Amino acid sequence: MQDEQLKDLCFQACEIVKNAGAFIKKELGKVKSDQIITKDLNSLVSYVDQETEKILVTDLKKILPNAGFLTEEETVKQEDKALRWIIDPLDGTTNFLHQIPFFSISVALELNKELVLGIVYEVNNEECFYAWRGGGAWLNQKSIQVKDNLNFADAIIATGFPYYDFTNTDAYLSVLKECITSTRGVRRFGSAALDLAYTACGRFDSFYEITLNAWDVAAGIVLVKEAGGLVNDFKGKDNYLFGMEILASSPSIHNKMLSIIDQKYNLFT
């Protein structure tokens, strides 16, 4: 698939994602307590997640009939094909259910195991972040880049707290303490897809988190890379899509963050 084809596909997919976002926005505040399911510890789902995923799958099939799907809610058969959509229909479900306005849709496309397209849609402010291989990263038709020439002391770091696997909590908290005491500030908003999108456009300067799934990060990875940022796992390698740990940063502070993570995790694990 040529990059120009990816561009056209990205624009089509953006409209599909925005349509699904309109459904989520319409349902905000309508979900009753007996319509919420606890999948795992602190992992919630409602009919909104499931119906949004169905909308996305149905319409994405129309523009790319031969693609497979990897989706959080598994409303469609999960297929590992050469072309595969990776979808989180509602990243930040807990925020959505508590009417905290920080949640998103995350849609990425994989081609022969390479992430080539990513869309993160922030529903409340109707901000559509999108990128395709070789095309740069964009926010509502405006080009975006990671922030560069940055001093670590001036950085804003984003993260997410562990919520079901607390195995390495001491190491995680040690990294957090270093970031709190050495940077301008730390933010924890509750949607990894949006954290990555905000890193891509320079609102955040680095994002790190553990116990994440592929659908949480796939689209955001494309955004950060196309915006000029760096992405690694905590060992500085490339096992960040399925390795359940990710660091994405501006190049000017990425190695500093890797150094902190390496030091603290070696100390506490």
Q: How many domains does the chain have?
A: 2
Instruction: Specify whether the CB–CB gap between 128 and 119 falls below 8 A.
Output: yes
Domain boundary, last residue among 144, 165, 197: 144
Per-residue confidence (pLDDT) for residue 42, from 0 to 100: 43
Render pLDDT for 83-94 as a digit per residue (tens, 0 to 9).
Answer: 999 999 999 998
Q: Are both 231 and 160 inside the same structural domain?
A: yes
User: Can you tell me the distance from the alpha carbon of 66 to that of 174, in angstroms, rounded to the nearest whole number?
Assistant: 46
Q: Are both 105 and 225 inside the same structural domain?
A: no
Q: Are both 194 and 95 inside the same structural domain?
A: no
Domain of 29, CATH number, reads 3.30.540.10
Per-residue confidence (pLDDT) for residue 150, from 0 to 100: 86
Q: Are both 60 and 132 inside the same structural domain?
A: yes
Across 212-228, average pLDDT: 97
119 forms beta bridges with 107, 130
Q: Are both 139 and 160 inside the same structural domain?
A: no
Q: Are both 169 and 252 inside the same structural domain?
A: yes
- Burial pattern 32-66, b for ≥16 Cβ within 10 A else e, equals eeeeeeeeeeeebbbebbbbbbbbbbebbeeebee
Q: Are both 120 and 230 inside the same structural domain?
A: no
Q: Are both 120 and 157 inside the same structural domain?
A: no
Across 57-62, average pLDDT: 97
Domain boundary, last residue among 95, 120, 144: 144
Query: 168: domain range?
Result: 152-268
Q: Are both 25 and 134 inside the same structural domain?
A: yes
Across 227-248, average pLDDT: 96
Report how far apart, in Å, the C-alpha atoms of 41 and of each of 153, 163, 233 are: 36, 8, 24
Domain of 227, CATH number, reads 3.40.190.80
Per-residue confidence (pLDDT) for residue 166, from 0 to 100: 79
**Would you place residue 19 in the very low, low, confident or very high pLDDT band (cuts 50, 70, 90)?**
very high
Q: Are both 217 and 167 inside the same structural domain?
A: yes
Q: Are both 139 and 7 inside the same structural domain?
A: yes
Domain boundary, last residue among 88, 117, 144: 144
Q: Are both 210 and 240 inside the same structural domain?
A: yes
Is pLDDT above 70 for 41? no
